[in-house]
Structure formats: structure tokens, C-alpha cells
């Protein structure tokens, strides 16, 4: 059984910070690449950040320098530290991984950046 559960979303003012968490079940975690995606209303889901099992990271151009993805294999958790938040960061954020060619998604957590 593979389950991903996000938490940490909420309402924050522009320029503020938020830290998202993704708790993963199962024994797969330490060997898998983990992703954060986001989807705003009426827009396509986009890849925000990725971290491999080795700790290598990649970021969307729109968040590079502001967001940091990290993982704690002992806790089977992946995090997304979001700084200098902008209104365009408003979206539902999803944790994601692929295991044997199947996609697994968390339920999503809402992030709203507004005054």
C-alpha cells in the first residue's frame, strides 16, 4: 500500500513563507524520486520541484531561488519550504511519486497567497 499525505498549506501574505510536508507510507520511500506539483484553478498541473533518492534537486523556473525541496528518509517525509511567496503561487500543491510506472498522488493541500 502506497499513501502520500500532504499538510502545511494555508493562507499567507505576499512575501511570506510556508512549509509543506508530505508523509509517505510503505518501504519504497528511500529509493524513490519525490515531486511536488501544483495546480491553480483553470490551469494545468505543473511540476514545481523534484528530489531524487540521492538528494539531487530540480525546480521550475518560476520558483527557483525561492522554494527548497528536501527529504528525510528516516521519517519517510518530503518537504517544500516556500519563501518570498507571490499571489501566482496560489494553488493546490500535491506530493507525487512513480513506482513501477504507476503514478501516486497525495490528496493535495491548498496554498493561498493574498493580502
pLDDT at residue 26 greater than cutoff 80: no
Q: What is the mean pLDDT of residues 75-91?
A: 97
Q: Is the pLDDT of residue 30 over 90?
A: no
The C-alpha atoms of residue 19 and residue 79 are separated, in whole angstroms, by 7
pLDDT at 78: 96
Q: Take residue 94 and report the three cell numbers written for it.
A: 500535491
What mean pLDDT do residues 102-111 have? 96
Residue 110 near residue 11 (C-beta atoms within 8 A): no
Question: Which of these, 31, 6, 29, lies nearest to 82 by C-alpha position?
Answer: 6
Least confident residue range of 58-62, 68-72, 99-103? 99-103
What percentage of residues in the chain have a pLDDT greater than 90? 88
pLDDT at 87: 98
Predicted pLDDT at 31? 84
Which pLDDT score is estimated for 29?
81
pLDDT for residue 72: 93
Query: What percent of the chain is modeled with pLDDT above 70?
Result: 100
Amino acid at each position: 500500500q502506497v499513501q502520500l499525505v500532504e499538510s502545511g498549506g494555508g493562507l499567507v501574505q505576499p512575501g511570506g513563507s510556508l512549509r509543506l510536508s508530505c508523509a509517505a507510507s510503505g518501504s519504497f520511500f528511500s529509493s524513490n524520486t519525490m515531486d511536488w506539483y501544483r495546480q491553480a484553478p483553470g490551469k494545468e498541473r505543473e511540476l514545481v520541484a523534484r528530489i531524487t533518492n540521492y538528494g539531487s534537486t530540480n525546480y521550475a523556473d518560476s520558483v527557483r531561488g525561492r522554494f527548497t525541496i528536501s527529504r528525510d528518509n528516516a521519517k519517510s517525509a518530503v518537504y517544500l519550504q516556500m519563501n518570498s511567496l507571490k499571489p501566482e503561487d496560489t494553488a493546490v500543491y500535491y506530493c507525487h511519486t512513480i513506482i513501477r510506472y504507476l503514478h501516486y498522488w497525495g490528496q493535495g493541500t491548498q496554498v493561498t497567497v493574498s493580502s
